[in-house]
Amino acid sequence: MDCASCVAHVENAARRLPGVHACEVNLARGRTVVRFDPALTDPQTIAHAISQSGYSAQVEDPALSPANAEEQRLARQQAQAHAWLRRAAVGIALWLPVELTHWVLYLARPHSHAHLWMDWLALAASTIAIAYVGAGFYRGAWAALKHATTNMDSLIAMGSTVAYVYSLVAFAGFLLGFWPVLPDLYFMEAAGLLALISFGHYLEARARDKAGSAIRELLNLAPPTAFRLNDDADREGEAPPEPPSLAEPRFLEIPVADVHPGDRLLVRPGDRIPVDAIVTDGHSDVDESMITGESLPITKTIGDSVIGGTTNHNGRLIIRATKVGAETALAQIVRLVEVAQSTKPPVQRLADRISAVFVPSVLAIALLTGIAWYLIGSWRSYTPAQTWATIAQTVCSVLIIACPCALGLAVPATLMVGIGRGARRGILIRDIDALQSAQLIDTVVLDKTGTITTGKPAVARLLPSNGQNDLDLLRLAAAAEQYSEHPLARAIVAEARRLSLAIPDIQSFTSESGFGVIADLDGRRLLAGNADMLQKHGLANAHQTIATTLPDEASAAMTLVHLAAGQDGNAEYLGAIALGDPIKPDSPAAIAALRRLHLRTILLTGDNRSTARSIARQVGIDDVRAEVRPDQKAHAIRQLQTPPPHSPQRPRPSHVAMVGDGINDAPALAAADVGIAIGSGSDIAKETAGIVLVSGSLLGIATAIRLSRATMRKIRQNLFFAFIYNILAIPLAATGLLNPLIAAGAMALSDVTVLGNALLLRKTRID
């Protein structure tokens, strides 16, 4: 495919088949995504129909890994680029020496016919150029003609043919004596325009390759091989021997494609992790920046999950594969990027509709140009040779310069670069409309739990009573809570283990639902729970002084777990542990980044008002909507988008982005203009959102909005270049102010300009 009219023909060929619901073609990647009813048609039939329309198509092999599929696509693209380079080299070798010699001789003796041999040489060179360099264009034009359609090849083939046939007829007429003066010949223009356009296609193919480099960079993250543990004696729960040597037969180097779930793999320092897995032995820092955008390495130890494609830094790890092949996070990211790059935003659909009628319109303009110059020649009493020479020049120039390549590449090339850059930063664009809509966002609504906060309780403060030691309080509380499944209990135990405290084993354990737990430890009874638990066991007022030690702002966002020791009626109050949902470290910086973009931020949560306001103050959010039930969140979003008309001071409608992570956020994510899901959140939230922040960092919100603005700005620039080029160039060509050779060079330059401008997006600052 060469231009947007090619896209329209491919889409129409597929859509004419029964059972095909939709077909979207990505010109820049040479890829089509078709949605169809398998009861009515199949992929091979669709590929055959597209091939019959003149564009060779084949079904992507589902057995291929994403890396192999991309490798095959790249090989085809490189083969095509090299074919264009060969044609361009032959065309330039045929055209340029003859053209330069012609001009040297002409400038030396401008009115001499002594150099007639040059015209014979030009005829021979252009004939070879038409036959070899123009073969690809003529095949494409013939395939389109068989289906009663037109494309860019039609314009180029007709343009070169007009120049060549006119020159051949004029030269023959002079030799046969039909006119005494040899008219202007365009043999070299026919050869030159084919050479220049072929070279432009080569540059275009190279630029497309750079624009699509994001997927290859992602795929290259996964190493080609892995070291699999090949010893049945090493079973689950048994640590492998001290750092094994790769020379030992226990570890075999195998292709990553041969790794299966459950395989034990060795990851050396500096190696890339081959698949998604769980660490079963070892301790190391892992750099996940290329997948998640998280800049700092993350410490991984036994039980932690690791992502395929990330880099192991300083320690040796033994991992157990959990997801391989197309199920890995990296493969899913690549698939999402491919789908997004193949989907068309509304602005692209507009360009395609224009391009669909563009080539027929240009043919009509070329016909009218020829008629107009014939009438002008008759009116001005031109000789037949002058009239037909002018017609050949102007019609050829119109046909060549009006090729809609730039129009077809303006949007998809920019999207490839923008979406790929986002993917490398851990920002996945699932819905292309979200990328276009994000540029208009003026209000960002954020959920609290799991979005601004971590979503997991953690120990915030230790509040001992009666001279108790902080760590003793935590150790005893962890002992009482160690067998509880309650999230607060788990947080207390996790904190004790983080501080390397020795947690004593208890003799008995009882859980009292809604109150807390009771445990026996070395003859003492431990009571751990809420204030009602204390009251139930005769310690109604013991905790009052502890509660007052917390500032009002902190107490609103924290939960107290009280600890007492002793029998009912004779228990001693030991103190309390304050737990809260910690704010993510980068949340304040993320809100500050949104403020710098002049965006309004709103905290929307089902939590109580005092807790919500406390969290909002800590991160810098002014507007709080608290105690909102899940079913009311979508209504709150719609109210921001379209305020009720009866409001006393009705604010203007907002373009709203909703940021959330939970199942309860899904309706609001769907209702918002742009839904942004946290990568660590629920699958339902991620499926509903148009943008997913893989790392879970809220800093990605501002980056995504800047990326949207930069991408759409480049798209508008490219569409302007494409449209203004044709608007200005066609009249110049029709009035005879452009030589066909200049027209060919300008057309090739327009394609390279659009692609080059798209590639500048790689350098645009989005941080």
pLDDT digits (tens, 9 = 90+) for 197-249: 788 778 777 766 766 666 677 777 788 889 998 754 444 444 444 444 443 44
Hey, what are 552's tokens?
Answer: 């009002």
How far is residue 200's CA from residue 400's CA, in Å, rounded to a whole number? Answer: 13
- Among 3.40.50.2300, 3.40.1110.10, 2.40.50.220, 3.40.50.450, name the CATH number for the domain at 458-580: 3.40.1110.10
Please give the C-alpha separations between residue 489 and each of 526, 529, 554, in angstroms, as whole numbers: 14, 9, 20
Please provide residue 633's backbone torsions phi and psi, each rounded to the nearest 5 degrees: -65, -45
- Cβ neighbors of 207 (< 8 A, separation 6 or more) are 413, 752, 755, 756, 758, 759
What CATH class does 223-327 carry? mainly beta
- Residue 237 is predicted with a pLDDT of 44
Q: Give yes or no for a contact between 583 and 554, defined as CB atoms under 8 angstroms apart.
A: no
**The whole model's pTM is what?**
0.70
601: helix, coil or strand? Answer: strand
- Residue 674 is predicted with a pLDDT of 92
What CATH class does 427-454+584-694 carry? alpha beta
- Residue 322 is predicted with a pLDDT of 92
DSSP string, 289-318: HHHH---S-EEE-TT-EE-TT-EE-SS-EE
- Residue 186 is predicted with a pLDDT of 77
Q: How crowded is residue 602: how many other Cβ atoms within 10 Å of its Cβ?
A: 20
For β-strands 31-36 and 572-580, DSSP reports them as unpaired
Mean pLDDT, the chain, whole residue set: 81
Please give the C-alpha separations between residue 251 and each of 181, 476, 686, in angstroms, as whole numbers: 85, 45, 38
- Residue 590 is predicted with a pLDDT of 93
- Residue 435 is predicted with a pLDDT of 86
How far is residue 543's CA from residue 529's CA, in Å, rounded to a whole number? Answer: 12
List of the chain residues with pLDDT < 50: 232-249
pLDDT digits (tens, 9 = 90+) for 269-282: 888 999 999 999 88
Furthest CA-CA distance within the chain:
130
Please give the C-alpha separations between residue 154 and each of 34, 68, 191, 498, 644, in angstroms, as whole numbers: 27, 34, 16, 72, 55
Hey, what are 468's tokens?
Answer: 């108790």
Residue 677 DSSP symbol: E
Closest C-alpha among 167, 657, 687, 63 to residue 385: 167
Q: Provide the residue ranges of all domains of the chain, joining segments of one domain with +.
A: 223-327, 427-454+584-694, 458-580
The structure tokens 């997004």 sit at: 340
Catalytic residue annotation: 447
- Residue 3 is predicted with a pLDDT of 66
- Residue 377 is predicted with a pLDDT of 85
Residue 501 DSSP symbol: -
